[in-house]
Chains A and B, each alone.
Chain A
């Protein structure tokens, strides 16, 4: 089992391979101060946003005289609204994630935690506040938060399929959900719609083991869930393959549809592919949404 310390070390290791990701984050910093994203709207901040004609009700002190002196009209100088973003993670801790079809492959839970923490590290370096959904760990900035994250991420849940935590969502924050989404679809729908109601946008990372995509079984087989709560017996497993794959595709399209409705990003990742590519996708998905979600 992965201890908090090794989980964090692994995550740091993953994150350390992304200096260029940070470099691209700095490209963004042309508009955004380090530690806070510009909201692309006028508000409290230090950076210049725009001059606008003074309107009735504007305080006289806000008139920018250097601009106004060039003409007859009076202008007010506006600054961009700058605040730090809150990102909430939900990493599926259910028993179904503790599965790998091959000893050489990592368990899905390991990969999910690694990805989640690596994203958290990157966000933390970017000055964002990172936390977990729910009330266990509200988003905070700073490196100690990573330790707390790692601590909480390495706690297993006894449930076979854990529904996404949707309580105590901070409005207009961002969220990252990483799970195999094998459980009941209602919980996911509820969480996503609730998030959408609160203006929370985010990324849905669908993490699957390769055997879950390939279904390489034949003969008489009894399938059991990892927690042991569900079982299904078949006499001819290879006969089930097409129908299983059908259902899996159905689930994927349902998730994609939900994401499209709620404005989330949907991504599919397999444990036999590189974690870095998933991380890159996750981070870029978060980044691009920053601009679009204003």
Chain B
């Protein structure tokens, strides 16, 4: 690639074509524009007039210039110009190793970094260098491959949510030493980490090292803490620069469940300070909804801190049995528990009925034995929905019969009567101390002070389930704390009082810890290693390097002590961890994480993360030349006086003219619906045979005329219906003549027909064969009818009985002739329990309109009239024939009446009953 004035050309020799431009100028200038032929009678007057040579018409200079530009743009465009070309000589040779820090600190500018890497890979590809990748946060043997292969995989590179550890770097150094001979591009995230200098040395031994590092500062956020009603947020920066301000976002879900920023607070770095603090005071409701804090404009795991139970103050309702007891404060049954919970939980007072609608997290019942029916049911419902009921024993429970014979749903165990007292003045034996907590217990790992002794308790009945429900016991094995699950919630019973009357437990610090472990309270301060000693935490959701949460999958659990103190790494990913009901957020940056900026030796070139992308200009130039040529067309037309000629205008306008397809289908469908519904309309099925369709149309027209003259039904002109495309719902009945060769409707059409029949439509099938074969079986039309009607949802049929309502809807009929006088027509079978009505000549038949009428009498032919009203088809002979036609019309009238009025005429069966009721 040749570079001329900052623009590279892939085919620079083509530029020699520019020399031809002046020659082109002279040629174009000498050639006059093409003539127009003009008819003009006045030409006789023009004969003999000669052109003045000095003013002979030439292409004007500006048009020439336009064309010159167009041609020049084509030549330069074809020469392949490239803006910001990369210097090919500097691409180097040999193997290339790209070293990435790959930590969270680079996540914010990962996109930028990827672009630079891509640009470097492009250069390497041009120089045919093989490239290997070494990520320090996940050191692996680099595979040297073609740069183009790596370019396709570049999107797969993701930052890790931790810093390279000492072990990682040492492993990377080992890997580096095993290789030989390569140049290095080191993409640093800007944070110092142990052994980085050793790594640099190792790389420099192999070849040249170039460092790419962003000039922006690295920001990180320390986990939020809650103190004195405000959330304290601390931000750190790597380089102590001048005064600057960052915005901190509190992210969470709004009441509708959508993730959004709930609050923002600015934090200001003082001049020269590396740490800034902001306090955020929020209402408890809002605070409880916060899921994470992050720094605006930053997109890294370090700039994000997840929020666990620490910020969430649990609501605890404390309810004691002996209310309004005047007495000493220290003897209040709730005193100790209140003191234990007050720093870390919001305490609700009130009666159970008042408290339940507030939906607290925990309800503590201190020595309450019986609950009223009205309290018990909603309380149980609340527990099953996830609530936690903590009960303390006491004299009342000991004295009551609760959970004595059968287990009370709100008690974890059955209780023996009376409880027991040990170590008192009136009893043998010493007060019992606590047994160490078993591994299955939520209290496992807590230290038990020696001074915790129990002198009285309620005693659980031995039950098969008892052993599973004990989570703490005395040294003699009697249960001290029992627990059972109820729905999604649980019931916990302390077998001692919440006061110091029965034991010293409430006086000891382990009581508070037990509350924490039960998630009754939540730890206010950051988790301490010893608090978590012996617990195992499973990751729920983990954070990637960008600070986005993702599902933890089946990552192994983490020891509690590690969770609190170990640095984040592949084995301890930042995220939300759970143990039982407790949630702990493990963040990347902790209070004692120091952000140290990297310093590079002077001999290592450090580049910024900026790349000017190569920009091919050929397309732009060729487009420009096209535009110029278009302008030339217009200008030439204008010059020769042809621009505004009518035909040319048409041609110019034709170019952008787009054919807008008219919504013809929708329009015709609308027209069809309007036609069909403006008035009552009879319809026939179009069979595709023109003669049959014409006859159907004429027949229904004749029937419509008859109806118009004789009845109050005044139909409009009949309409032919295409079963495939037309909507059927507009028509009360369809006349369907059967021809042997008509096409079988599609599945959609059958679905439409079935919907039509179910919604009260009627189809008159006419085999037009005089039913000569009986039962329509053997004739071609009959077989076709069976074929066509098979997918239809048709009820059982019977030959029209003599008392069917069709025989009397308008005329009294017993024969239903059309052009033929066939024997039977078939309608829906009457129900088997139809009975002859007393005093009436007909049975009490079904109440619905028959969905189909099937016959073969070719009614349409009998009804058909031409446009002037004369019958189209002869029927019978002489007067008898005319009588038959008249009966055919009467059948048609009866049929339409039947369709339109239903079984109205059948209701005459009720006339005697109605008359009887009227007292006539």
Residues of A within 8 A of B (CB): 96-97, 99, 108, 161, 180, 182-183, 209, 211-212, 215, 217-226, 230-237, 239-240, 243-244, 247-248, 251
B43 at the interface (CB under 8 A from A): yes
Chain A residues closer than 8 Å to B45, beta-carbon distance: 182, 244, 247-248, 251
Given A219-B57, A235-B57, A239-B52, A180 contacting B38 (CB threshold 8 A)? no
Q: Which of B27-35, B783-791, B855-863 contacts A (4 or more CB under 8 A)?
A: B27-35
Chain B residues closer than 8 Å to A180, beta-carbon distance: 41
Given A217-B38, A220-B640, A222-B37, A231 contacting B43 (CB threshold 8 A)? yes
Q: Which of A96, A211, A235, A244 contacts B51 (CB 8 A)?
A: A235
**Are B39's CB and A240's CB within 8 A?**
no
**Are B33's CB and A244's CB within 8 A?**
no
Chain B residues closer than 8 Å to A219, beta-carbon distance: 33, 35-36, 57, 639-641
A52 to chain B: closest CB distance in Å? Answer: 56
In chain A, what residue has the closest Cβ to B42?
Answer: A212
A233 and B48 CA atoms in complex are apart in Å by 10
Chain A residues closer than 8 Å to B34, beta-carbon distance: 220
A251 to chain B: closest CB distance in Å? Answer: 7
**Are A182's CB and B41's CB within 8 A?**
yes
Chain B residues closer than 8 Å to A251, beta-carbon distance: 45
Chain B residues closer than 8 Å to A224, beta-carbon distance: 37-40, 43
**Are A226's CB and B51's CB within 8 A?**
no
Within B34-73, the residues touching A (CB, 8 Å) are: 34-47, 49, 51-52, 55-57
In chain A, what residue has the closest Cβ to B52?
Answer: A239
Chain B residues closer than 8 Å to A232, beta-carbon distance: 43, 46-47, 49
**Are B49's CB and A230's CB within 8 A?**
no
Nearest 4 A/B pairs, CB to CB: A96-B41, A220-B35, A236-B57, A223-B43
Most chain A beta-carbon contacts within 10 A, residue among B36, B42, B55:
B42
Q: Which of B38, B42, B47, B52 contacts A221 (CB 8 A)?
A: B38
**Are B56's CB and A244's CB within 8 A?**
no
Digitize B678-694: 1 where CB-to-A-CB distance is under 8 Å, 0 elsewhere: 00000000000000000
Within B359-376, the residues touching A (CB, 8 Å) are: none
**Are A226's CB and B36's CB within 8 A?**
no
**Are B46's CB and A223's CB within 8 A?**
yes
**Are B43's CB and A230's CB within 8 A?**
yes
Q: Which of A212, A215, A220 contacts B57 (CB 8 A)?
A: A220
Chain B residues closer than 8 Å to A96, beta-carbon distance: 41, 44
**Are A220's CB and B33's CB within 8 A?**
yes
**Are A221's CB and B35's CB within 8 A?**
yes
Chain B residues closer than 8 Å to A211, beta-carbon distance: 40
Interface size on B, as a range, is 20 to 34
**Are B641's CB and A212's CB within 8 A?**
no
**Are B49's CB and A244's CB within 8 A?**
yes
Chain A residues closer than 8 Å to B46, beta-carbon distance: 223, 232, 234, 240, 244, 247
B363 to chain A: closest CB distance in Å? Answer: 96
Given A219-B33, A221-B36, A209 contacting B41 (CB threshold 8 A)? yes
B639 to chain A: closest CB distance in Å? Answer: 6
A146 and B640 CA atoms in complex are apart in Å by 47
B interface secondary structure, majority:
loop
B456 to chain A: closest CB distance in Å? Answer: 120
B53 to chain A: closest CB distance in Å? Answer: 9
Chain A residues closer than 8 Å to B41, beta-carbon distance: 96-97, 99, 108, 180, 182, 209, 212, 225-226
A225 and B45 CA atoms in complex are apart in Å by 11
**Are B49's CB and A233's CB within 8 A?**
no
**Are A233's CB and B35's CB within 8 A?**
yes
Residues of B within 8 A of A (CB): 32-47, 49, 51-52, 55-57, 639-641
**Are B32's CB and A220's CB within 8 A?**
yes
Most chain A beta-carbon contacts within 10 A, residue among B41, B43, B51:
B41
A231 to chain B: closest CB distance in Å? Answer: 7
Chain A residues closer than 8 Å to B35, beta-carbon distance: 219-222, 233
Given A220-B57, A235-B32, A240-B49, A230 contacting B44 (CB threshold 8 A)? yes
Given A220-B57, A233-B35, A225 contacting B51 (CB threshold 8 A)? no
**Are B641's CB and A218's CB within 8 A?**
yes
A190 and B820 CA atoms in complex are apart in Å by 94
**Are B57's CB and A223's CB within 8 A?**
no
Can you report 10 A-B residue pairs in the complex whose CB atoms are below 8 A from each other? A96-B41, A182-B41, A182-B45, A209-B41, A212-B42, A221-B38, A223-B42, A232-B49, A236-B57, A248-B42
B764 to chain A: closest CB distance in Å? Answer: 59
A251 and B42 CA atoms in complex are apart in Å by 11
In chain A, what residue has the closest Cβ to B58?
Answer: A235
In chain B, what residue has the closest Cβ to A248?
Answer: B45
A182 and B46 CA atoms in complex are apart in Å by 11
A223 to chain B: closest CB distance in Å? Answer: 4
Chain A residues closer than 8 Å to B51, beta-carbon distance: 234-236, 239-240
In chain B, what residue has the closest Cβ to A99?
Answer: B41
Chain B residues closer than 8 Å to A248, beta-carbon distance: 42, 45
In chain A, what residue has the closest Cβ to B33?
Answer: A220
**Are A239's CB and B40's CB within 8 A?**
no
B911 to chain A: closest CB distance in Å? Answer: 78
Beyond A224-B38, A230-B47, A236-B57, 10 extra complex contacts between A and B, CB < 8 Å = A108-B41, A211-B40, A215-B42, A219-B35, A220-B57, A224-B40, A230-B43, A244-B42, A244-B45, A244-B46
**Are A226's CB and B641's CB within 8 A?**
no
B251 to chain A: closest CB distance in Å? Answer: 72
B501 to chain A: closest CB distance in Å? Answer: 117
**Are B36's CB and A222's CB within 8 A?**
yes
Chain A residues closer than 8 Å to B47, beta-carbon distance: 230, 232
Given A182-B45, A235-B32, A225 contacting B639 (CB threshold 8 A)? no
A241 to chain B: closest CB distance in Å? Answer: 10
A161 and B32 CA atoms in complex are apart in Å by 32
Chain A residues closer than 8 Å to B55, beta-carbon distance: 236, 239
Chain A residues closer than 8 Å to B32, beta-carbon distance: 220, 235
Chain B residues closer than 8 Å to A223, beta-carbon distance: 38-40, 42-43, 46
A237 and B52 CA atoms in complex are apart in Å by 11
Given A96-B41, A236-B57, A243 contacting B49 (CB threshold 8 A)? yes
A249 to chain B: closest CB distance in Å? Answer: 10
**Are A183's CB and B44's CB within 8 A?**
yes
Chain A residues closer than 8 Å to B641, beta-carbon distance: 217-219
A96 to chain B: closest CB distance in Å? Answer: 4
**Are B40's CB and A225's CB within 8 A?**
yes
A267 to chain B: closest CB distance in Å? Answer: 19
**Are A225's CB and B56's CB within 8 A?**
no
A48 to chain B: closest CB distance in Å? Answer: 53
A157 to chain B: closest CB distance in Å? Answer: 14
**Are B38's CB and A220's CB within 8 A?**
no
B49 to chain A: closest CB distance in Å? Answer: 5
A99 to chain B: closest CB distance in Å? Answer: 5
Chain A residues closer than 8 Å to B37, beta-carbon distance: 221-222, 224
A215 and B56 CA atoms in complex are apart in Å by 19
Given A221-B35, A221-B38, A243-B49, A236 contacting B56 (CB threshold 8 A)? yes
B832 to chain A: closest CB distance in Å? Answer: 84
B574 to chain A: closest CB distance in Å? Answer: 80
In chain B, what residue has the closest Cβ to A184?
Answer: B44
Chain B residues closer than 8 Å to A99, beta-carbon distance: 39-41
Chain A residues closer than 8 Å to B639, beta-carbon distance: 219
A220 and B34 CA atoms in complex are apart in Å by 7
Most chain A beta-carbon contacts within 10 A, residue among B40, B44, B57:
B40
Chain B residues closer than 8 Å to A234, beta-carbon distance: 46, 49, 51
Most chain A beta-carbon contacts within 10 A, residue among B43, B47, B56:
B43
A243 and B748 CA atoms in complex are apart in Å by 80
Chain B residues closer than 8 Å to A244, beta-carbon distance: 42, 45-46, 49
Q: Which of A161, A222, A236 contacts B38 (CB 8 A)?
A: A222
Q: Which of A217, A221, A225 contacts B44 (CB 8 A)?
A: A225
Given A161-B44, A230-B44, A220 contacting B36 (CB threshold 8 A)? yes
In chain B, what residue has the closest Cβ to A232?
Answer: B46
Chain B residues closer than 8 Å to A230, beta-carbon distance: 43-44, 47
Chain A residues closer than 8 Å to B44, beta-carbon distance: 96, 161, 182-183, 225, 230
